[in-house]
Amino acid sequence: MSTRYDRHMKLKGWGAQAQEQLQTAHAVVVGAGGLGSAVLPYLASAGVGKISIVDNDRVSLSNLQRQVLYTEKDISHLKAEVAAEKLSALNSDIELVVLSQPFEAHTAENIIDGCDLVIDCTDNFRTRYLINDACVRADVPFVFGALYTYSGQMAVCNYKGSATYRCLFKEPPTDAVIPNCSEIGVFSPLVALIGSLMAAEVLKVLAGLESVQTGRLITYDLLAHQQHTFAFKADVKAIARIKSLKCIEPIALNDCGWNDQTLYLADLDTLKDPLFIDVRDLKEVPFVKHASVVKRSSDQLLQRDEQLFEGKRPLVLFCASGKRARHSAMKIERENVYYLKEEIEDFIHYLNQMKHD
Amino acid sequence: MEYRLNFYGPLEELFGAHGTIQLQEGILFSELRNQLEGVFKGLDAYPYTLAQDGAMKSDEEELSTGVIEVFPPFSGG
């Protein structure tokens, strides 16, 4: 066995068999953002034999505060591709599969087919419930982690018949009352903490250790340094219902922030003379002043501002995080209308660079 | 009897980290949910799970005397 894994091999309870199990394991990591950045290096360095990275997002400037896998030169590049490149440099003995695509109901079962474990590092409820349902149907364990400002949650689910995410949170939200990191911020060390807890459980599951913390929600508040653990039981009826469905049914809430109208900064150069529409409130800061930017409220747009819609000039809606812009773009349902899934600071940085080019 | 409550995440921002509520002993968690939503306005807009004595409780279970934990799911990642 390689000296690379010597410090794990010396651990009481680990040994050659555990290491071999890791090397033949296939883990699917959904989301290569904050939690993904924290989890992935530990899986690669520990020698998990095959890691699939699922993420269709691109690196942006505001990611770098907590997504420590990426650097400034990675901005605008696909996260899954960059992550695989970095992890390959860390451990060239493992297989890395890049899946720069969203995790959707019609692709979920193919993506996790044959894997040993799924790691939920997503930032939205729609994907989180999809992962749950796909894993329940395929009888694959999964580890989820989630963040809220200074607090985080994590749990091992569906492991050897244990409880699932739906057993813990039965009803998915019908509206996005709980905002994500782009709206309320996140304390960067929290990402590392929850990511490390997740990585620990992943390695324990894959290496076959007996101390897997399954059926327990672990919460951590980094402001007060308080940790709580809540046991939760399998809801047999809820699990049976998911297994009996003909196909995976996504929850009604669509908070994953991606559809055919989605644009990232890297996509903007493919558009011919786009007009950018600021749909934020009139007095909302930072102000964005640029020749190709106009301000229109969502209401004005929905009342069909015909001057704007004349001709075939691409219209790109933007707001502070992409959420309101997406909402408006979806309602307009018109060809050549897109929304920017980027944070305002990154967009301003892009416009400033345009001025200098 | 007065019960102590712990709120987490966005619920902590709405109602504070700790709260109290007067409840009859031994009521079911389904009834607790109704009473909480009556006292803490806006709680019903959130999905949340209830726990007591270190374990999540279903609607059919009876309240004991411990602190009641009220936690919503988080979505950030």
pLDDT in tens, A67-96: 999 999 999 899 999 999 999 999 999 999
Sorting pLDDT into bands at 50, 70 and 90, what band is A1?
low
For A173, the token pair is: 């939200």
Map tokens 């894993």 to a residue.
Answer: A135
Bridge-based pairing state of the strands B18-22 and A293-295 = unpaired
Residue A118, CB half-sphere, CA atoms under 13 Å: how many? 34
Give the residue numbers in A contacting B (CB under 8 Å), as ranges: 31, 33-36, 121-125, 128, 145-149, 151-153, 168-173, 175-181, 184, 186, 217, 219, 221, 228-233, 255
Could you say which of A178, A229, A231 has the minimum Cβ distance to residue B73? A178
Q: What is the mean pLDDT of residues B49-59?
A: 96
B74 with A148: Cβ contact below 8 A: yes
Nearest residue on chain B to A155, judged by CA atoms?
B73
B74 with A231: Cβ contact below 8 A: no
What's the mean per-residue pLDDT of chain A? 91
Name the nearest CA neighbour of B45 among B77, B11, B70: B11
* pLDDT tens by residue, A312-346: 889 999 998 888 888 888 888 778 889 998 889 88
Residue A309 has pLDDT above 90, yes or no: no
Q: Say how far apart CA A173 and CA A129 lie, in whole Å.
A: 11
A343, A62 contact by CB (below 8 A)? yes
Give the pTM.
Answer: 0.85
Q: What is the mean pLDDT of residues A287-296?
A: 92
Q: Say how far apart CA A267 and CA A230 lie, in whole Å.
A: 44
Q: Which amino acid is at A119?
A: I
Q: Cβ–Cβ contacts within 10 Å for residue A17, how many?
A: 10
pLDDT for position A257: 63
Residue A270 has pLDDT above 80, yes or no: yes
Map tokens 């469905």 to a residue.
Answer: A245
pLDDT for position A158: 98
At B1 the three-state DSSP class reads coil
Q: What percentage of chain A carries pLDDT values higher than 70?
A: 94
Q: What's the gap in Å between the CA of B74 and the closest CA on chain A? A: 5
Q: Say how far apart CA A290 and CA A189 lie, in whole Å.
A: 36
CA distances for A160 relative to A205, A212, A213, A233, angstroms: 10, 11, 12, 13
pLDDT for position A39: 98
Residue A220, CB half-sphere, CA atoms under 13 Å: how many? 19
